[in-house]
Amino acid sequence: MDTNLFSQINTTISVKEASVVTVDQFQKLLQAGDKENLSLLLQATPYHLSAEDLDDLNIIDDILMKELASEYQWAFEEAPDRTIVTMFSLRYVYHNIKVLLKARASKQDLSHLLIPIGEQSLEALEHLVSALSSEFFPEFMIQELQSIWSEYEGYHDVRVLEIGADLAYFKHLKKIATDFDNPVFNQAIMLMIDFYNVITVKRAFAQDKPKSFMLQLLSDEGSMTANEFIALEEGGLISWFNQVNPDHFTLALADFEEKMSQGRAGAVDLEYLYDLMQFHLLEEARYQTDGPLVLARYILGREFEVKNMRLLLSAFCNELPLDAVKERMRPIYGQ
C-alpha cells in the first residue's frame, strides 16, 4: 500500500484532534460535583447534554453513539482505503445482523437496538438479512448468513442466530487480516479474536458451563484451537499472554501478568487488558504523519472516549462513586 495515500486524511485528523476530550477535561468532568456543573463542562466537548439529560441513560447513550457514528461516517467518506475503518466498524455491523436475524425469526420490531455504524446503510443491511442476497455485500458474507438462517430453520433456536453471527464476525475479521496483509492490523485482529475466546472461556467456567457449551461459542480463527483456549484455564493463561504480548509493549501490563500468573485475572480484567493492548499496539503511530496507523489510532481513541464518557456519565446518572470510574477508564487519546 502507498502510505502517501493517507497524507490528506492524516492532516485532517490533526485538525479534528482539537475536538478530542483531553485528560484535563476528563479530570474536570470527574470533579464536577453535580449534574448542573457537569452539563456546563460538557458544552466544551462534542457531547452536549443538559442536566435533565443526565438523568436518562438512554439519552446519554443516544448522544454518545450519535457522535461516534458521525466519526465513522466521516472516516468512511474520507479514508483512501476503507479496510481500516471496516476493521473497527465490523462489530457494529454484526451486532445489527444479529438484531435483524432475531427480528426476522421472532417477527418483532427490534429496530431500536440497531446502531447506525457501518460501510453500508441500515436499509441495505435489512435487505441482506431479509432476502439473504445483496449487491452491496461480499459473496462470502451472504453465504455465511444463508448458512446461519438455514441452520436456524433446522433447530428454531435463537442461540443459533447469536452464535452464528458472532462466529461469522470473526471469520470476516480474519479475511480482512489476510487480504490487507499489514502486520500491525493482523496483530490487532488476532488480539480481537483471541481475547474473545479467552474471555468467553473465563465467563463459561465462572458459570459452571460444560466444555460442549464453550466449544459452540469459541472461534476457530484465533491463534490456537478451541480446545487449547479451554485448557488455558488450568493455568496456562500467562503462557498464551506471553505469546501475544510483544516485548515492546509497556510495563503497564505487568500487573495483569501477575494476576494471570496467580490465576486472579477475571473477565473484567481481561476486557480492560485487551483495550490496553490495542492502545499500545497503535501508539507507535503517535508521531507518524503518513500511513494508515494514524487513522486507526484516531478511531480507537474515539471508541475509548465514548467508553470513558459512558462510564463517567452512567456513574453520575446512578449516583455511583467515581473511584471505580477512574480505575476502569481506558487510555485517553493524546495522553
Render pLDDT for 29-48 as a digit per residue (tens, 0 to 9): 999 989 999 999 999 999 99
Render pLDDT for 309-328 as a digit per residue (tens, 0 to 9): 999 999 988 888 888 888 89
Which domains, from first to last, does the chain contain? 1-52+292-335 (no CATH), 82-177 (1.20.1690), 182-290 (no CATH)
pLDDT of residue 2: 65
DSSP labels, 274-332: HHHHHHHHHGGGTT--SSTHHHHHHHHHHHHHHHHHHHHHHHHHTT--SHHHHHHPPPP
Render pLDDT for 173-226 as a digit per residue (tens, 0 to 9): 999 999 888 889 999 999 999 999 999 999 999 999 999 999 999 999 999 999
| Type of residue at 47 | Y
Per-residue pLDDT tens digits of the chain, which is 335 residues long: 566 789 999 999 999 999 999 999 999 999 998 999 999 999 999 999 999 999 999 999 999 999 999 999 999 999 999 999 999 999 999 999 999 999 999 999 999 999 999 999 999 999 999 999 999 999 999 999 999 999 999 989 999 999 999 999 999 999 999 988 888 999 999 999 999 999 999 999 999 999 999 999 999 999 999 999 999 987 789 989 988 886 656 677 888 888 888 888 999 999 999 999 999 889 876 777 788 999 999 999 999 999 999 999 999 888 888 888 888 999 998 77
pLDDT of residue 14: 93
Task: Collect all residues with Cβ–Cβ distance below 8 Å to 102 and sequence separation of at least 6.
Answer: 108, 110, 158, 161, 162
Task: Collect all residues with Cβ–Cβ distance below 8 Å to 94 and sequence separation of at least 6.
Answer: 165, 166, 168, 169, 172
